[in-house]
Structure 1
Amino acid sequence: MVTVQLKGGFSNQTIKNIDYKELLKNGLRLNWNVTNKTCTGCRESGGRCGRSQDTDFLCYCPNGANHPSICNSGGKLKAGSLLKKGALGASISAFGVAIIVLAYLCQHKISKLKSMIIGSRKMKKSHKFEVDFENRGILVTRRYSYADIKRMTNLFKEKVGEGGYGCVYKGKLADGLLVAVKILSKLKGDGGDFINEVNSMSKTSHVNIIKLLGFCFHKTKRALVYEYMPNGSLEKLIYEENYFKVGCGHLGWDTLYQISLGIAHGLEYLHKGCNSRILHFDIKPHNILLDENYCPKISDFGLAKICHREKSTISLLGTRGTAGFIAPEVFCRNIGGISQKSDVYSFGMTMLEMVGGRKNIVTGADRTSEIYFPHWIHKRDKEKAEKMVIAGLWCIQTNPSIRPTMSEVVDMLRGGVDCLRVPPMPYLSSPSRSSPTTSMSTVV
């Protein structure tokens, strides 16, 4: 028997005329007292008691079927049961989709995590550079963004030089000042050469040292901004083979003499004038730039090494420099210690090339003496070149202890030629281009 109790003052007699919205709003209570004995058997069989429109009693079974009495007596699936099974199937399908979505999200999370780890490593590496810059006081040099670099070079429109490091482009700052922008396309190792060059040049200030105006350090982008040198590198102007290419002739002995004296002053400053001694390790005509008045400026400090003044020699692993200009002690440890005299040797070879108008290294030559050491230089008889020749020959002595210091070289170039004594012939050549790099360490 079913009894309905209504709230809100409604009675059973008026239930047909009531507002059902109001009825549901006010609420109702349904009491159902089951008196049929069959319900007990239905419950014992695991079912639930119920009824439908066409029968007074139905036993709803756990498998979705229904039966007039108990569940284990057979039964049939009705629309409600089919809906339940359909819902179950849909639930299983939804569960499968959820598993797939979850797997995708997990994979995406893992990929994102990997990217975060890699990004974190890059950030740590970038932070390492930042710390190096700050610890070495490099941040006092102006730092440009890569967008600034593209803007000042007009999207790298005019290339003025190229080397193993990358390319050099002509640029202009916002105030109209012309600059040379060196883009480092090939970084060695972890980019230490870049930090080394910025660090070394930030410590220098001399008329014969190229001025570093700023740098760019942005992710994998590295650039150095220098003052612009209209006459380019010395290499283009001293070799007879280049005269036709550049449309010029011999610079003249007075000009070459002043250039050699300027380079000597620059090296003297690096060895004695800085707070810390700087060894360049790559003095050669290519790294000597000339301004509009042919004033020389030493550039490219990527291989430079900063050392303490009180130490006469330094430790070095491997060779540094360019074949034909490398001092013998740099690749042969039995000759002597590596010191400022290694730069003296490179300067001597550079000066002899200036006098001779030819490269001291010729690819494919049969005799090493013809490749590296210009024995023929003794035959030069031009008086204006004599001091350069004699000073240069003293600089390239095999034994570094016999070589003069750069201060002594300056005195030799400034003094009279009559006071100069011709040095003995060097007895050892530099390594060939095909010679393997020799690792060595000279005890400080």
Structure 2
Amino acid sequence: MAISNGSLALAIIGLITAGIVTIVAIVAIYECAKMAMKMSLREGMANHQRYTTPSFVNGGGSSGGGGVDADVVEMGSMSHFIEGLQNERPVRFSAQQLRAFTKNYAHKVGSGGFGVVYRGRFPSGVPVAVKVLNSTLGKRAEEQFMAEVGTIGRTYHINLVRLYGFCFDADVKALVYEYMEKGSLDRYLFDSSPSSPAPERIAFEKLHEIAVGTAKAVRYLHEECAQRIIHYDIKPENVLLGAGMAPKVSDFGLAKLCDREDTHLTITGARGTPGYAAPELWMPLPVTHKCDVYSYGMLLFEMLGRRRNLELGGVHGSQEWYPRWVWHRFEAGETEAMLARATAAAAGDGNGREREKAERVCKVALWCVQYRPEERPSMGNVVRMLEGEDHIAAPRNPFAHLAPYSAGSTPTTTTATTESDGSSARTGR
């Protein structure tokens, strides 16, 4: 019996020892996992900072007009950091940092109705464009600022300009974008001034690539975002070109989000740019994303003609309003001169592939500017037609609601701009 009791005691001791070892092992594994998780989160934070603000890893220190320290960008607590990652928030910069990036705003590269754009550089050497909003615009500027940050910060597409961050101080409101080295498309389409010589001429095949890339950007905004985004201001000045003339759509200052389920949108006040804005934007009518399709069509006409759509008293005579002139040439089957101008070749000469693409662009443009929004194609259809995947039916007359055409006439809406006018566009004649 004594032996039996001794064996039992040894067994109990063995079990206790094994239990202690197991518990110690579990605790050790837990602590290791916990440490690994912390290291992973720290690495994630570092990667996030490196992704959103490349200046604070490679550049360090200060640059130009003031010190730029890594701790200026407030990452907040870990929960705020994770929330920021989930929301894909652009980084908030200080006014001091913007002065450092731009060397006290030394290089102005452009201006618009809402503000001035300056070229700058992160301390790491990454070039940026800093768009400083006009401080005198009050609430309108604030609405534009919030629209840009809210939309670009939640979007990513190879043909959309990337927003690095923003500044929202009492005295400075600005947006920090990637810098597009080739400038905007209008510089390559229209006649230059003595103070601004024309850059190299773009072959039409490259113009076609730019048209397709721009269409893909707008398609993404309309069809691929969680919430549909309407741009409202598609025009050559808002198509920026980077290395290899790759296009990126910019300036979401007039963008407004609407739920995908909400087909129509009511807006207050006119939006867009005259000459590109769809007719419904100037009337008390429902507005849909098809207003962007109309603006894109007007952009295609300018790419086709390598000129402004409206040139009063210009050298083009009866072609003062180019889109309508194109329609009448198309209707009459006399597109030779138009295609030759697009491809920069004499009539009957030139690259057959370029001419085929130019004719395709012409048909798509005529479909995009149909008077009735529901008759305009979606941007997904536009991409497929431009790339030759979809057959392009003969367009209907998009200008049937206008006064009768005569040589030298400019677009004038008839006094009876009613739904019956729109139905004439549906019939095509």
For the pair 1:194 / 2:167, whether they are aligned, the reply is no
Match of 2:363 among 390, 410, 414: 390
The answer to whether the 8 Å contact 1:351/1:389 transfers is yes
Match of 2:378 in 1: 405
For the pair 1:278 / 2:229, whether they are aligned, the reply is yes
For the pair 1:338 / 2:287, whether they are aligned, the reply is yes
The answer to whether the 8 Å contact 1:143/1:214 transfers is yes
Q: Could you tell me which runs of 5 or more consecutive residues in structure 1 were left unpaired when the two chains were aligned.
A: 1-133, 433-444
Match of 1:172 among 107, 113, 121: 121
Alignment CA distance shift 1:331-1:290 (3 Å): same
Q: Following the alignment from structure 1 to structure 2, what is the Cα–Cα distance between the partners of residues 429 and 181?
A: 42
Q: Could you tell me which runs of 5 or more consecutive residues in structure 2 were left unpaired when the two chains were aligned.
A: 1-82, 341-354, 404-409, 412-429
Alignment CA distance shift 1:161-1:256 (3 Å): same
Match of 2:206 in 1: 255
Match of 1:231 among 169, 182, 198: 182
2:325 alignment partner AA: H
State the Cα deviation string for residues 39-70 of structure 1 (Å, max 9, x = none): xxxxxxxxxxxxxxxxxxxxxxxxxxxxxxxx
State the Cα deviation string for residues 174-233 of structure 1 (Å, max 9, x = none): 211111111112453421111111111111100011000010111031111000100001
For the pair 1:381 / 2:308, whether they are aligned, the reply is no
Residue 238 of structure 1 deviates from its aligned partner by 1.1
Match of 1:424 among 385, 390, 397: 397
Q: Following the alignment from structure 2 to structure 1, what is the Cα–Cα distance between the partners of residues 303 and 209?
A: 11
Is the partner of 2:184 in helix, strand or coil?
coil
Residue 332 of structure 1 deviates from its aligned partner by 2.2
Residue 296 of structure 1 deviates from its aligned partner by 0.9
Is the partner of 1:297 in helix, strand or coil?
strand
Match of 2:261 among 310, 313, 323: 310
For the pair 1:361 / 2:310, whether they are aligned, the reply is yes
Alignment CA distance shift 1:404-1:182 (3 Å): same
Residue 250 of structure 1 deviates from its aligned partner by 2.6
For the pair 1:370 / 2:320, whether they are aligned, the reply is yes
> What is the root-mean-square deviation in Å for CA atoms of aligned residues?
3.0
Q: TM-score, normalised by structure 2?
A: 0.64
State the Cα deviation string for residues 354-408 of structure 1 (Å, max 9, x = none): 111111133578x999347442364313413111111011000111111000001
Match of 2:89 in 1: 140
Instruction: Give the number of the structure whose residues are more often helix, by fraction.
Output: 2
For the pair 1:181 / 2:130, whether they are aligned, the reply is yes
State the Cα deviation string for residues 82-117 of structure 1 (Å, max 9, x = none): xxxxxxxxxxxxxxxxxxxxxxxxxxxxxxxxxxxx
Flag the structure with larger Rg: 1
Residue 311 of structure 1 deviates from its aligned partner by 1.2
For the pair 1:288 / 2:239, whether they are aligned, the reply is yes
Q: Following the alignment from structure 1 to structure 2, what is the Cα–Cα distance between the partners of residues 219 and 408?
A: 45
Alignment CA distance shift 1:402-1:181 (3 Å): same
Alignment CA distance shift 1:245-1:203 (3 Å): same
Alignment CA distance shift 1:247-1:372 (3 Å): closer
Match of 1:39 in 2: none
Alignment CA distance shift 1:196-1:418 (3 Å): closer
Alignment CA distance shift 1:249-1:240 (3 Å): farther
Alignment CA distance shift 1:425-1:310 (3 Å): closer
2:117 alignment partner AA: V
2:258 alignment partner AA: C
The answer to whether the 8 Å contact 1:187/1:193 transfers is no
The answer to whether the 8 Å contact 1:394/1:423 transfers is yes
Q: Following the alignment from structure 2 to structure 1, what is the Cα–Cα distance between the partners of residues 158 and 125?
A: 21
Match of 2:425 in 1: none
Match of 1:329 among 266, 280, 298: 280
Q: Following the alignment from structure 2 to structure 1, what is the Cα–Cα distance between the partners of residues 339 and 266?
A: 41
The answer to whether the 8 Å contact 2:368/2:377 transfers is yes
> May I ask how many residue pairs the two structures share in their alignment?
297
Q: Following the alignment from structure 2 to structure 1, what is the Cα–Cα distance between the partners of residues 361 and 206?
A: 12
Q: TM-score, normalised by structure 1?
A: 0.62
Q: Following the alignment from structure 1 to structure 2, what is the Cα–Cα distance between the partners of residues 368 and 323?
A: 21
Q: Following the alignment from structure 1 to structure 2, what is the Cα–Cα distance between the partners of residues 262 and 157?
A: 32
2:310 alignment partner AA: I
Match of 1:82 in 2: none
Match of 1:320 in 2: 271
The answer to whether the 8 Å contact 1:236/1:246 transfers is no
Is the partner of 2:244 in helix, strand or coil?
coil
Residue 333 of structure 1 deviates from its aligned partner by 3.3
Instruction: Give the number of the structure whose residues are more often strand, by fraction.
Output: 1
